[in-house]
Amino acid sequence: MIFLTLGVSTASLPTGAHVKVRAVINGEVVVRSYTPTRFHKGLCELMFRVYTPGPMSTHLAQLRVGDAVEMKGPTGLERYDGPGAFSRGDATWRGVTHVGLVAGGTGITPMLQIANHVLQDGADPTKMSLLSFHNTYADILLSDTLRGLAAGSRGALALKFVCTHAEERDVKCAARDVVRASMRKLSGEALVKLLGLPTGEGTVVCLCGPDGFVQHARGLLEPAFGGRIIVW
């Protein structure tokens, strides 16, 4: 994974939004959407995986300091509006005290954006629980970044990496935050227990990942959290 930090013309962009990046590559216009991991003080940070022959990711990976990038946004309906408030279009959730962040693979990007926003705001008391799902331990994305955030959060961010095929040695080496489990095999009760959050009106759960992952997770969580589930 690669991080690309871009200067933007506004000091404040909405947390939860996407951006579109445009480039002319080999004579063709290529546009891709990304969910930034951070909007902060005039900077936009993108995380992407370089695919071969993925034209946009390869192009971005070759950029040097001082190169220009065409970016449009923000786009998307989902927003974290500040302490205790989420919105999605006309729907709003206020009085939120706890947030569950459930990510499958690269669905970690909007979850990291929300976590960064909360932890950068000293006046935001929101408590977060992040579950990052992967097939194997080697597939885990941003482990150092996420562990650093959790360690410096003073208890505001609880973190677990959930791996379908984690080896025993992986679980033992990182026993505090690695769990061997599969979204497909978890019960709703077990998933709620992994989140470790109250199920009352003050809790919202955010989901992002492959369509099948999101649909299955939502079905498991709806009995506990009802309509307080936001999908990126």
Q: Where are the domains of the chain?
A: 2-75, 78-231
Half-sphere exposure of 206 toward its Cβ, with a 13 Å CA cutoff? Answer: 29
228 C-beta neighbours (distance < 10 Å), count: 20
Q: Which amino acid makes up residue 58?
A: T
* Record: fold of 78-231: Rossmann fold (3.40.50)
Structure confidence at residue 212 (pLDDT)? 95
Class assignment of domain 2-75? mainly beta
Structure confidence at residue 49 (pLDDT)? 79
Half-sphere exposure of 48 toward its Cβ, with a 13 Å CA cutoff? Answer: 24
CA distance linking residue 230 with residue 232, whole number of Å: 7
Tens-of-pLDDT digits for all 232 residues of the chain? 566 777 776 556 678 888 889 999 989 999 988 888 777 677 778 878 787 778 998 999 888 888 888 888 788 889 999 899 999 989 999 999 999 999 999 899 899 989 999 998 989 999 999 999 999 888 888 889 999 999 999 999 999 999 998 776 665 555 578 898 999 999 999 999 999 999 999 999 999 999 999 999 999 999 999 999 999 8
Which of 9, 124, 212 has the alpha carbon at shortest distance from 114? Answer: 124
Question: Would you say 146 and 132 are in contact if contact means Cβ atoms under 8 Å apart?
Answer: yes
Exposure letters 176-195 (e unless 16+ CB within 10 A, then b): ebbbebebeebeeeebbebb
3-state secondary structure of 161: strand
pTM for the whole thing?
0.83
